[in-house]
């Protein structure tokens, strides 16, 4: 089941949430900043042991003070006009996140932020297609997959895109 929610991802009671991180895994603004603030300083301490993460990949940590037990820190691409492999890198960030979640073994419910669509500038309609395409491909492996959007316009865009992809 794919659910589209307008919510602050740090409040969701799911097994894992997927963060929009940077390749230094250094924390930052946006959803990353909100997740670090809610999880507490232990999250940054665990991330320091990873020495970064390539664009298009992801790492899994515990959730500490979050309601979610795990955080998957996915690194999406910065949008540079679309001819720098951005679409494939964004798809890879989703695929790696799903693989880490499946390999962990106990994750049945997972919520994704809209990776790369904030300060990284990925056009939202194209990002929605990539995100929802990946979610549909993995739908049977999880009890619940949440697409978590932070504003009403994005939630509407995702609902319309999902309806189109399912048609
Ligand atoms: N819950 C859910 N979604 C949120 C929240 C929240 N609390 N806050 C923001 N969003 P961004 P990026 C949405 O900029 O583009 C950071 O500094 C927001 O509306 O957080 O991948 C990192 O450290 C947007 O649609 O991530 C990186 O350096 C989406 O989250 C860089 O930004 C992603 O926006 C990553 O940029």
Which residue in the list 32, 83, 103, 151 is annotated as catalytic? 32
User: What is the pLDDT, as a whole number, of residue 9?
Assistant: 98
Mean pLDDT over the full length of the chain: 98
130 lines ligand 1 (CB under 6 A): no
Tens-digit pLDDT profile for residues 103-113 = 999 999 999 99
**Who's near 110: CB < 8 A, 6+ residues apart?**
14, 15, 16, 17, 18, 72, 97, 98, 101, 142, 144, 145, 146
Domain around 43: 2-166
Mean pLDDT calculated for residue range 82-95: 98
- Cα 128 to averaged position of ligand 1 atoms, centre (Å): 14
5 lines ligand 1 (CB under 6 A): no
pLDDT > 70: what percent of the chain? 100
**Who's near 47: CB < 8 A, 6+ residues apart?**
25, 26, 27, 59, 61, 73
Tens-digit pLDDT profile for residues 16-48 = 999 999 999 999 999 999 999 999 999 999 999
User: What is the pLDDT, as a whole number, of residue 28?
Assistant: 94
Count of structural domains, the chain: 1
Ligand 1 atom having least distance to the Cα of 9: 1
CATH number at residue 43: 3.40.220.10
Active site annotation includes 32: yes
């Amino acid at each position: 089941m794919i659910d589209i929610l307008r919510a602050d991802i740090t409040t969701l009671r799911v097994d894992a949430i997927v963060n929009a991180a940077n390749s230094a895994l250094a924390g930052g603004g946006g959803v990353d900043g909100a997740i670090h603030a809610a999880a507490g300083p232990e999250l940054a301490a665990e991330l320091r042991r990873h020495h970064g993460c390539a664009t298009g990949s992801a790492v899994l940590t515990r959730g500490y003070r979050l309601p979610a037990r795990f955080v998957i820190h996915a690194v999406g691409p910065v949008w540079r006009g679309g001819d720098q492999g951005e679409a494939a890198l964004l798809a890879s960030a989703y695929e790696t996140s799903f693989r880490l979640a499946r390999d962990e073994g106990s994750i049945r419910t997972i919520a994704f932020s809209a990776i790369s669509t904030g300060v990284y500038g990925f056009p939202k309609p194209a990002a929605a297609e990539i995100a929802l395409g990946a979610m549909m491909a993995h739908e049977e492996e999880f009890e619940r997959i949440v697409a978590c959007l932070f504003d009403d316009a994005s939630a509407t865009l995702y609902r319309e895109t999902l309806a189109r992809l399912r048609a």
